Structure 1
């Protein structure tokens, strides 16, 4: 269940800087045993990032939230491959790779790389890391991501092969994600399940300390194999209150504040000490339907609701035009996204006709579920108001996130739900298979949808190696999902942060 929770939790959280090594910093009071940072534009010093919430786990095989993954991924830990700024798979700890055949992938590894504890990086380290996550005794919630790998085989000290049970096209995208992080074999043996408190990778930053609920500190790795970081230290400071988090940047105590209220954008943009950072994210938000629940079993009802919701008004009124109009469960930056897919246009007269055709000319009452996040609640309130226009009384139920997950994944008592989905790998399979496949989706298929035609497409998307053919497969899949009105796409997410004007080269 934890694996699925990650997908829903992605949408409320912002990634930390994906490449902190490109930043310079302003001035802040030095912490104990910490050298004062230099003036703006110079290298060295400490970057302070104020974040809404703390990490829950720093072990790549047990991380279940993006705010945890973003602390260590590409900072403490690295993978065989990575995604570059254009979302293209690029070499990292592997210099090159090839498919020997459909079931064998071979990776040539980088030499002269050492883990932070001095252990050499080699094929044995790759095998030990992957064997750990796949071992049932480890009980990793990320194990399912690697269930197509039958064996990790060492060919020589710097060559490793992955032997698959069946072809699996998304393999590289998973290896580029946080669960593909390569861990020090010495640390695996020494710390076991306590590895969360002792992260040891090959990355440009070393883990220094973690004070739960307060801060996580990373230090520059002076022996990093690649380009040296331009910072001596990074501090991820936990500040739950929006106003206090922003104030830290305004008064120079922090340099970045992640996750800012959309209504504050204009005020913050006018400041001469701050700038508002915006970038396209990978996730989407939507209104979902449990197609096995009450009136929602009828396609005409789902089409009517889809036609009665004006998503543009939600983006403008609730989100202050942060994010863009979504047309699909996939965001535009995800491989497999189709710009040609269309959701049902806003048309109240059509919505009323469809309801009458379904046998509900006077509407009906239904439950609408979401969890206690301010923007989600506001979106649900707007939807409730819009549905009144066609006679539907959407009774809003706001629960804790834990109860929300329980209802949509376990008890399945939900009807309409306001939610979203992130994408940690940048590949359509990550969303599509977990959300919509009859068997593969399991708990993630909160729509309770089963369609053999869609299942065949999603199975084909996992084994097809031709990128063009995969794009065509996922375009058809998205058309089916929208045709059957499983959800109403609302918006493609956007990353927001406030950054001191002293900072250069920051990105999310």
Structure 2
């Protein structure tokens, strides 16, 4: 039986009405036409691209100089054509006639302001290290932007998906605390009507969008962290499109499976007395039954993972797991079957976000597989706030991955310079070989040399086992009957408001 269209429409109307009541100035035509309601588990901390929102594009509110099409190929967006690259100089010509949601005309100075703000040490931008190859950005005239790089960086054009903010709205402000971060002004197909943290984001169509007037009147993004609650509300017919865990999505006839480069794995903190032992890590790496996880936990919607670069990537190589010699490393079976070394039991905690049913099941599968070889793993479901301060000492079911360039995630996730910097390298992995390979990978232009560098990186990672990679996922969504225009494309790990199945929702209609 299909999801109730009437229920979804009622919710959309109610949410738009609430937003209009709290913001009288925005009670416009968006309330009167077709509005799509989508639901996701992830909610952004900010809606400002400078602070990290929608950095890979498809953010609905902003545009970058370039965007990605349905095949993830780069296409011009705010740039009139793809920027040109001449060694360490990248030049972009802006599209004419583009305006921000407040009517301000887009100029090259807005682009300069955006990128300089990311690089400004006073701004708490998570993207600064992503642009450390950028020496300067200038605007020789109102329609031209010139980026000067410190070194030739092969995937730089892909960094130009970053949403552009209006300099007028943020100049002279403390960007870290600006009201813009909650109610921004962009050039995208939708403008923000209201954002109620923990509940919903309401977007209205930007009728003056340079890419053409949206085919619908608005979008409501519902934030529902708990997988089971989201499934229950889907059953009640509240959403047009909803992201669900594979097993939960299987209960609905309209499930859509989307290919990704999104992996899940066990991050093993090297400062932990047990998880920091290479023999333990290598033994766990060979003990986990990845195919059983794909079949059981993912309901077949994925594939085994052995490293951080997806098998579909031109940079992926097959690696050989490190040999596990527990006895040679001094581990012997205790009276209860759990390994012991110098009085230390082979036991450690494995954290996972309690609201994420998929990560919970993966954690429990790891627990069962580890027990078979004498390693006691204690699962613990927590909130992210509770997980965050413990990552340097306790293992964690983590997720990352990108279908774009391998430099985008792996450089910070496994580079020693980023050890214990938030969610990047929380386990303090430190390898001179891996560091050098990651540097070579980002500084080489020649494809063959880049492939060789990333091959070295992947082989070193397989030898050191700072993670036990488990599975690559397919993202699963439930789409209501009658929704047309849905175009799946290979997705990264980060998906929520941005880069989800609704990346092109401005073209969607309902039959």
Q: What range is the shorter-chain TM-score in? A: 0.7 to 0.9
Q: Which residue of 2 aligns with 1:338?
A: 316
Partners of 2:91 and 2:30 lie apart in 1 by 46
Q: Which residue of 2 aligns with 1:6?
A: none
Partners of 1:227 and 1:261 lie apart in 2 by 34
* Conservation of the 8 A alpha-carbon contact between 2:308 and 2:401: no
Q: Which residue of 1 aligns with 2:496?
A: none
Partners of 2:327 and 2:480 lie apart in 1 by 56
1:85-234 matches, cutoff 5 A: 85-94=70-79, 95-101=81-87, 103-176=88-161, 180-189=162-171, 192=175, 193-234=178-219
Residue range with higher mean Cα deviation, 445-454 or 127-136: 445-454
Equivalent position to 1:393, from 363, 376, 386:
376
* Structure 1: unaligned runs, 5 residues or longer: 1-23, 39-43, 270-274, 345-349
**Residues 1:368 and 1:311: Cα distance change in structure 2 (over 3 Å):** farther
1:266-277 matches, cutoff 5 A: 266-269=250-253, 275-277=254-256
Q: Which residue of 2 aligns with 1:360?
A: 331
Does residue 463 (structure 1) correspond to residue 449 (structure 2)? The answer is: no
Note the C-alpha offset of 1:248: 4.8
Partners of 2:45 and 2:204 lie apart in 1 by 20
Q: How many residues matched?
A: 453
**Residues 1:152 and 1:161: Cα distance change in structure 2 (over 3 Å):** same
Deviations 1:160-201 (A, max 9, x none): 11122333333222222xxx1101222223875111122111
Partners of 2:117 and 2:82 lie apart in 1 by 24
Does residue 46 (structure 1) correspond to residue 35 (structure 2)? The answer is: yes
Q: Which residue of 1 aligns with 2:362?
A: 379
Partners of 2:61 and 2:172 lie apart in 1 by 18
Does residue 485 (structure 1) correspond to residue 465 (structure 2)? The answer is: yes
Q: Which residue of 2 aligns with 1:59?
A: 48
Partners of 1:247 and 1:394 lie apart in 2 by 31
1:239-254 matches, cutoff 5 A: 239-240=224-225, 242=227, 245-246=230-231, 248-250=233-235, 252-254=237-239
* Conservation of the 8 A alpha-carbon contact between 1:123 and 1:154: yes
Q: What is the root-mean-square deviation in Å for CA atoms of aligned residues?
A: 3.0
Instruction: Give the structure-2-normalised TM-score.
Output: 0.80
* Conservation of the 8 A alpha-carbon contact between 1:433 and 1:458: yes
* Conservation of the 8 A alpha-carbon contact between 1:341 and 1:479: yes
* Conservation of the 8 A alpha-carbon contact between 2:249 and 2:477: no
Partners of 2:139 and 2:419 lie apart in 1 by 33
Partners of 2:170 and 2:61 lie apart in 1 by 15
Note the C-alpha offset of 1:375: 3.0
Partners of 2:42 and 2:67 lie apart in 1 by 26
Equivalent position to 1:284, from 246, 263, 275:
263
* Conservation of the 8 A alpha-carbon contact between 1:315 and 1:323: yes
Note the C-alpha offset of 1:428: 0.8
**Residues 1:278 and 1:132: Cα distance change in structure 2 (over 3 Å):** same
Note the C-alpha offset of 1:296: 4.6
Instruction: Give the structure-1-normalised TM-score.
Output: 0.80
**Residues 1:170 and 1:287: Cα distance change in structure 2 (over 3 Å):** same
* Conservation of the 8 A alpha-carbon contact between 1:336 and 1:428: no
* Conservation of the 8 A alpha-carbon contact between 1:290 and 1:296: yes
**Partner of 1:387: helix, strand, or coil?**
helix
Partners of 2:50 and 2:462 lie apart in 1 by 34
Partners of 1:218 and 1:127 lie apart in 2 by 27
